[in-house]
Amino acid sequence: MAVKTALIKHPNSVLHEISAYHPERPERIIAVEDALAASGLNEFLLSRQSKQAARSELLTVHEQHYVDWIFDNAPTGDGGHVQIDGDTAMNQYSLIAALTACGAAIDAVDGVVNKEFDNAFCLVRPPGHHAERGIAMGFCFFDNVAVGAQHAMDVHGFERVAIVDFDVHHGNGTEDIFIDENRVLFCSTFQEYIFPGRYAPSVPGHIVNVPLPGGTDGEHYRRVFSEKVLPELDAFKPEFIFFSAGFDAHRNDPLAGLNLEAEDFGWITRQVMQIADTYSDGRIVSTLEGGYDLDGLAQSALAHLSALVRVDA
C-alpha cells in the first residue's frame, strides 16, 4: 500500500542533553524508535530527515532579542552546559537539535501541502510548547508546533489552523504566541495546578483550555474531550490541524497525575482525524512534546501513530 504518514526526525535529537538523569532525555527518542521497529509499523511510514529551521523562520513566532540570546549563548565545542532556567539547559548540541525540531515541523507542513504524504509525526527533541515569544522554559527553547503553524499560514495561505495540545502540561508557549491570532484555534487539555500553572480564559473559536483534576482516567477524559474540544473544532472548520503530542498524561508518567492508557491517545487521534477528513483534506502534522515514562511514552506514541496511518496498534 502507498505510504501515507511521514516520520520526520534527525540524529541531533539524541545528542541534546539537559543533564544526567534529567527526565527529558535522549532515551525518549530511542524508546519510540524501538517500539516502532518491534511493532512492524515502520513499513507504513515514510522516514524523512528534517532540515534546520532558519533564524528568519524562528522570528515568525519568537522575539528578535530572545532568538539572538539563544544563538549567542549556546555552548560550542566542549563548552559544558548553559543553564536557561531551573530545569532547562543547553549543551553543545542543543541549538542544532532545537533548529532541526522546528525544521521538522516546517518540512512536515510542506510535505502535507505538496501531497507527498497525508500526515506526519515529528519524532524530535527538544519539545517546544512551553517556549513563549521571548522566554525558554519547561525543557523548551523554540516552539516547534507554533513555527509549523505559522509557516502554514504565512507560506501556504491557510486561514484557519487548529492546534490540539494533549500534553499533561498546558501549552503556555503556543498560547502566548497565538493569543492575538484569530486564525488559530488553540485547544489544550492539561492537569490543573501543575506546571506551568497559568493559562488564559477560554474564548470560543480561539482558545479552549480544559483543566483536568489529578486522577482523571480515560473514560472521563474522553467525555470531556467530546464535550469541550470536538465541538469547537467542528465549528471552527480548520483547514490544517496540528497536534502537540505529549504523552505524559499516561498513568505511569512520573511528572504528573492523570491516568490515561496508551489506547486513549489513539482515540484522541482518531477523533481529530475525523475533523481533519471533514474540513482539512486530512491535513495533520503532529510534533512530540512530553512523555517521561519510557514504556508509557513508547506505547502511547505507537497508538498515536497507528491511528495516523489508519491501522490497528
- Residues recognised as catalytic: 130
Q: What are the beta bridge partners of residue 47?
A: 7
**Identity (one letter) of the amino acid at 191?**
Q
* Cβ-based neighbour number of residue 299 at 10 Å: 23
Q: Are 313 and 266 in contact (CB under 8 A)?
A: yes
Q: Are 158 and 238 in contact (CB under 8 A)?
A: no
* Cβ-based neighbour number of residue 38 at 10 Å: 11
- Comparing CA positions, the residue from 262, 256, 244, 263 lying closest to residue 292 is 256
Buried b or exposed e, range 125-144, using 16+ CB within 10 angstroms = bbbbbbbbeebbbbbbbbbb
What residues contact 183, with CB distance under 8 A and at least 6 apart? Answer: 153, 158, 159, 160, 161
Strands (E) in the chain, as ranges, are: 5-9, 45-49, 82-85, 88-90, 119-122, 161-165, 184-191, 207-212, 240-245, 284-288
Strand 161-165 with 184-191, pairing: parallel
Environment class of 211 (CB within 10 Å of its CB; exposed 0-12, middle 13-18, buried 19+): middle
What is residue 23's DSSP assignment?
A: S
Cα(287)–Cα(33) distance, rounded to whole angstroms? 15
